[in-house]
Amino acid sequence: MNIDATPYQEFAKEKLGFEFHDISLLVTALTHRSYVNEHREAAHEHNERLEFLGDAVLEIVTSDFLFRNYNEPEGVMTALRSALVRTESIGAAGYELGYEPLVRLSHGEKNGSERAHEVIMADCFEAVIGAIYIDQGYEVAKDFIYKHIIVKIDEIIEEGLWRDPKSYVQELVQKIDGVTPSYHTLNEDGPDHNKSFTVGFFVNNKLMTSGTGHSKQDAQTLAARSAIRIYKKRIADEGLEIE
């Protein structure tokens, strides 16, 4: 392995709480395909195989947790699991861990869009799970997932993040205000390959909140999530009863 592994081992000790027996697994977990394509003589393996394994471990751990702790129908359990492991959630967990400076990317990918970086961080998170599983075993990988992913379950349930946000907020608005909300694009910005959209969430033609994303659909989803928080606060503040 033609790389100084010291920063990776220091990261493992400081952020993960243990030393890797084979530190090359962690290096590989944080190596993007683009880096290997650009450095064929120095790097020979990227993280996609570890990502494949980590994804499977993540799914079984979250599924097992939900099965043991929630007596809900299959559809609800699937939605809860999807909310826990969606790209945004695990990408955010990666940023919180702080391994971004250790991720090996090509020059082109380093200058990629914010959305592309978010996906890469999420893929690396799954690959790190795979590396931990191979190097330390299932229980350590499980503890890692509980600490960084399962811990978010209360927030997901409290804010209704497991439900389709657009359907959920429409239901809330109709029950509270008796109308159907609408979405209107407020702004488009950036070049075609990295465009961002800002979409407003309107009730009775009044702008309530907005969301910005790399597609109109993403922006609508973020606006809906923001609106859910507004209506949840209103329900609590006004003591409203919503069946």
Q: Which residues form the catalytic set?
A: 55, 126
For the stretch 149-169, what's the b/e string if a residue is b when 16 or more beta carbons lie within 10 angstroms of its beta carbon? bbeebeebeebbbbbebbebb
Would you say 203 and 173 are in contact if contact means Cβ atoms under 8 Å apart? yes
3-state DSSP: the chain helix, strand, coil percent, rounded to 5?
A: 65, 10, 25
Structure token pair of residue 186: 């407020």
At 211, which helix (H) or strand (E)? strand 206-213
CA distances from 163 to 55, 126, 159 (A): 22, 23, 9
Torsion of CA 243, 79, 139, 131, to 10 degrees: -150
Rounded Cα gap, residues 37 and 11, in angstroms:
25
